[in-house]
Structure 1
Amino acid sequence: MPSQQGTPVKSVVVPFEPDTPPSSLGHLGHEVPERWHTVDRSAHAPHIVAVPGDDGADWVAAALVTARPHTAYLKIVDAVGDVPATVEAVIAHARDRGLVQVKWEGWTASPEAAAAAGFAPLCPPLSPVEDGAGPDAGYVRWLCDGPGTEPPYYGQTTHFTCGAVTALVAKAHGGTLPREALDREAELTLWRDATNFPACEPIGLGVAVRRAWPSSPVTVHLDTDQPVLLDHCTEKEQEWRALLQRTSRTEAGRIGVPVDPGRLSLAAIRSAVGRREHVLLLVSLAGMQGFDVPHWVLCHGAVPGAVVIEDPWAQAGAGDTWVDAHLLPVPDSSLDTMSTLSADRFRGAVAIGHPQQRDASSDEPPG
């Protein structure tokens, strides 16, 4: 990673309003990409980090920067003008805010320009990206020691298979599942075994993971003995879904999946990922995306002050792409809030340990 220059680049930070962009953008002599205006990025605090010229008035470079709320990174959507100068200004801006990471979408950034600025390429997603929903490439620069090995990124292909996807990504990251086996058939097969129709509740997901990979230790953490994720259902629907959840508890006991009734702490999550284990964590999307929907994410690493997750879903309509969702650092306090769900304020998680060596060869991918 290049060292910081002795004299930091002077910069200007202003909000970005697509209907009334700063007049200084027009003086750059570069066409501002149309994508800056075609989606509503307002939920992700869009702003411009610009570098003024020697006269202090006209800008010589500018970058459109966004980030999910309650996270510890910034994302460069595009940079125009003197690109190295504005990227350096964004990095300084992120440091000033105490953030741990800067990402750069690869709409116009070349691998050479990204590398020169100290960015590493992100592994491209294994699932297809719809036209306009995200760039083919992305780059990351950690402003601290990074979390270790990069997992593959796979975006869920339905609205309800997040639990299955996080489990599959965990097994691919751990080396148990070949990356080429992480596909839609595997996604839907594991979901079908885990679902409480259509969501995956913690015990059912833990049972399905253990059945799919018998040699992998699995522990479910759920600090309530009541059925969960049923608030939106009618009383009649709650009855039969609750029955399925009780059946999952019985099955967990039968196949040896412990259900820990204590609340899983952020310290315990950090400890698990520090041992290169994986934690599938149930969160609400209210903080990051603005709507209170339960959702599974994968905790796989930690950096100072933040846990690094994989989120299998991105909100393309808000300019949110796989670059945001991949290697996403979330401050401990934010993750603590996100993972306290519903009026009952429960926390659900599935911890997956290292496969037992003598049985590891028995693990087969679902399909």
Structure 2
Amino acid sequence: INVNNKTFLVDTNKSDFANFFSYFCQTCLSFHYEYEFEHHEDELKPTTWFAVHGKLGNINGVIIVDRSLQHKLGGRNIYYYWLVYFLLFSLICTGIIYYYNTRHDLQKMLIAGCKKNEFIPYYQPIMSLDDEMQGLEVLVRWKLSDGSLLLPAYFIEVAEKMAVIDEITLKLIQKVQSDFKQYASNNKKVIFCAFNLTAHQIENKSFINLLIDKLKDEKRFIPSFEITERQHFDNLAMAKANIRRLQDQGYQVKLDDAGTGYGGFSYFMDFNLDGVKIDKMFIDVIGVDDVKVEVLNSIIMMAKRLGIDIVAEGVETQQQVDFLRKHNIDYIQGYYYSKPVPFKDLNFDN
């Protein structure tokens, strides 16, 4: 069995094949033949023949058929062909059922987690070129009942397709406001705080009304918003009107993940945005690929000509910082300064 690049040989005469088969069913969703029967018989080693390969996420599994079965398959025994087809069909059906049951369970867990107030904010500093904190990006974490934390990668895609994402966002804002009460009593500097919004939230007039109402009297931080290019807008006119309403309240709206999604830079023409966040994939080419870095230069040049703020995210090295300072962008965000942390671990003196 090959699982995450680690190989385990299975002797079907000795090991518990039923347990292996059950595990394989639960972790595989799509399949293909690794070798065709007719063309690779001379290449097969004495004890292994890769018959079926499956993949779900980062998990890879391989059924290893013993030599006696591969000879029978090679002999064109029709019953063994049907056995392979039956196994394939069973694996696919089991994988699909497992996938949808898992997704349904996650949806129920998200609803329950929201009711229990389990979603909490983590903060990543956004720094000026002279290494002073100018703002924070609010990033959601799911704190389970046992105290463990789930990163957004495990749940955010499902949450964004459910109405529960609106409640999560509003509760995050409420918790940020609570965090800043203790900060405001000891500090006079007001920084901006960036919240992520989905395309559906931007298009939802009722949600934008709730957002504005919750933030209308906020003086401890300056709210701002980031919309991602990874999601598709269904109603550009409504999105444009709601972005304008947020901007009329004095809130900046920036494009996150610029250059990686649906809209391209047409969003700047459609929405009259206040800034752009350069995705980590463009930052990673600094000092590595002189050809690809020209794409980064083009993004920076375009943003400067539009007169909008430029934030570079995913910055991790001194070389990247030096490059961005040389190009005089506005803000830098990334592990070079800090990973996302709880509010109590922030250093507002920088």
TM category (shorter chain) comes to under 0.3
Please identify which structure carries the higher helix content: 2
- Higher RCO (CA-CA < 8 Å; seq separation 6+): 1
TM-score, length-normalised on structure 1?
A: 0.26
Report which of the two structures shows the higher radius of gyration computed on alpha carbons: 2
